[in-house]
């Protein structure tokens, strides 16, 4: 199961990369043919943009100019699409840092909001057959968003350890979600190099990142074999509202299963009480100090009571010594 999960995740990441690259080339041709006109609603610093539909989801491509963004004096807020709530914020410092590595004044930004089987393959990174069958796993609570900077020829720019972090806003369905990115080497969600910022509204997650990848809002859950066993059993049907309603009806107390259950609870409680009472009696008969010596346990710090006993024993010993010397 683990090998299959990792293989499906790797295939999904590869499919997203291929679809995004193809969409960027098509969008670049469309932007050039339109003369770089972005329209009246184009964010500052954006000299052209286009949205391309792919099997992995819509891909938004925006051409940003370092000079135009610096002249505007405000960050460019670019959404992943007209019907999308995902948004990234690029300021002049960040764009200048990326453009310096790209060797040009114009940089392409691609935003791919994933859907379909690609998004389904990244929904969770749980591993049921892990060490001890228990680990922290992450469950996705937003649509995955792939963010990349590219050169004007469509090639991807490797962006790591940004001095000026990028800010993004994601829509989540869980208020406890935190920011994470998909680590393709480990095939899991990770928060390394990311920061979860205060939310700007209900259902939104604000993130800060110093590298680019596939991002999402996730929550951490603990997986155990017992949880999986309960999900596969009839436990959920036994603990539903109808079952609790039947508990309020007294007729089940007279039935054999009810009598047996009550007897088990009563005898278990009685056994615990007898055991606790026996422990108290044993402690009264055998002091804890003697029990420690028997178990070869030594206290690191003697209690005040032990200090007092030691002083009394010392005085008695001194008295006996003086008496013996007088008799001598």
Domain boundary among 179, 211, 226: 226
* Residue where the block lists tokens 């690259």: 21
Residue 183: give the domain boundaries.
Answer: 2-226
In the chain the first and final C-alpha atoms are separated, in Å, by: 88
If you search the block for the tokens 């409680």, which residue do you land on? Answer: 269
- Strands, E, within the chain: which ranges? 46-54, 57-65, 76-79, 87-90, 106-113, 134-140, 145-150, 156-157, 166-171, 178-183, 188-190, 194-197, 204-209, 214-224
Q: What is the mean pLDDT of the chain?
A: 79
User: Does one domain contain both 206 and 104?
Assistant: yes
pLDDT at 204 over 50: yes
Regarding whether 67 and 191 lie in a shared domain, the answer is yes
Weakest-pLDDT range from 125-129, 275-279, 306-310? 306-310
Q: Look at the chain and report how many structural domains it folds into.
A: 2
Whether residues 306 and 174 fall in one domain: no
Please state, in angstroms and rounded to a whole number, the distance separating the CA atoms of residues 25 and 233.
51
Question: How big is the CA angle at 69 (ends 64 and 71), to the nearest 5 degrees?
Answer: 145
Q: Tell me, yes or no, whether 147 and 269 share the same domain.
A: no
Distance CA 284, CA 183 (A): 60
Same domain for 261 and 121, yes or no, is no
Q: Which residue would you say has higher pLDDT here, 62 or 257?
A: 62
Average pLDDT on 172-185 reads 91
**Do 7 and 59 have their domain in common?**
yes
CA distance 196 to 142: 14
* Mean local confidence (pLDDT), 293-303: 58
Ranges 21-35, 270-284, 303-317: which has the least confidence: 303-317
Distance of alpha carbon 142 from alpha carbon 85, whole angstroms: 11
Domain match, 154 and 276 both: no
> How far apart are alpha carbons 43 and 47 in whole angstroms?
9
202 in the same domain as 56:
yes
Whether residue 272 is found in the same domain as residue 129: no
Instruction: Determine which helix (DSSP H) or strand (DSSP E) holds 316, and give its type and residue range.
Output: helix 304-327
pLDDT at position 192 over 50: yes
Contact between 76 and 64 (Cβ < 8 Å): yes
Do residues 107 and 151 lie in contact, with contact meaning Cβ atoms separated by under 8 Å? yes
The predicted model gives 305-315 an average pLDDT of 47
Same domain, 197 and 259: no
Calculate mean pLDDT across residues 143-160.
90
pLDDT tens readout for residues 54-81: 888 899 999 998 898 888 889 899 988 7
pLDDT exceeds cutoff 50 at 130: no
Q: What is the pLDDT of residue 226?
A: 46
Which of the pair, 136 or 152, is modelled with greater confidence? 152
Q: What is the CATH number of the domain that holds 206?
A: 2.60.220.50
Per-residue pLDDT band at 237 (split at 50, 70, 90):
low
> Concatenated DSSP letters for 44-60?
TTEEEEEEEEETTEEEE
For residue 244, what pLDDT is reported? 67
10 and 158 part of one domain: yes
Smallest Cα–Cα separation from 107: which of 174, 180, 166?
Answer: 166
| pLDDT at residue 211, as a whole number | 92
271 in the same domain as 217:
no
Evaluate whether residue 325 is within a structural domain.
no
Calculate what percentage of the chain has a pLDDT beyond 70. Answer: 74
- In this prediction, residue 326 carries a pLDDT of 46
When pLDDT is cut at 50, 70 and 90, the band that residue 324 belongs to is very low
């Amino acid at each position: 199961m683990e090998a299959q999960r990792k293989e499906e995740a790797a295939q999904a990441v590869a499919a997203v990369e291929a679809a995004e690259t193809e969409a960027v080339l098509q969008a670049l041709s469309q932007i050039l043919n339109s003369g770089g006109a972005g329209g009246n609603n184009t964010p500052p610093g954006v000299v052209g943009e286009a949205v391309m539909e792919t099997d992995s989801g819509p891909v938004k491509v925006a051409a940003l100019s370092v000079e135009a963004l610096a002249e505007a004096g405000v960050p460019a807020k670019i959404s992943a699409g007209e019907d999308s709530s995902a948004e990234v914020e690029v300021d002049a410092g960040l764009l200048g840092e990326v453009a310096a590595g790209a060797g040009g004044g114009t940089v392409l930004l691609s935003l791919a909001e994933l859907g379909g089987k690609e998004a389904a393959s990244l929904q969770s990174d749980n591993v049921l057959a892990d060490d001890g069958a228990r680990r922290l796993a992450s469950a996705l609570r937003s649509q995955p968003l792939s963010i990349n900077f590219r050169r004007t020829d469509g090639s991807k720019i490797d962006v790591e350890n940004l001095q000026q972090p990028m800010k993004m806003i994601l829509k989540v369905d869980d208020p406890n979600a935190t920011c994470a990115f998909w680590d393709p080497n480990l095939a899991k969600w990770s928060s390394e190099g990311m920061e979860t910022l205060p939310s700007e509204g209900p259902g939104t997650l604000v993130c800060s990142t110093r590298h680019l990848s596939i991002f999402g809002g996730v929550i951490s859950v603990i997986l155990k074999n017992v949880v999986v066993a309960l999900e596969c059993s009839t436990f959920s049907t036994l603990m539903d509202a109808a079952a609790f309603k039947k508990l309020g009806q007294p007729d089940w107390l007279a039935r054999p299963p009810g009598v047996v259950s009550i007897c088990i609870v009563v005898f278990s409680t009685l056994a615990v009480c007898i055991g606790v009472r026996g422990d108290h009696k044993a402690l009264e008969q055998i002091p804890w100090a003697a029990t420690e010596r028997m178990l070869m346990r030594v206290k690191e710090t003697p209690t005040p009571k032990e200090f007092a006993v030691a002083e009394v024993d010392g005085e008695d010993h001194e008295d006996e010594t003086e008496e013996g010397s007088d008799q001598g």
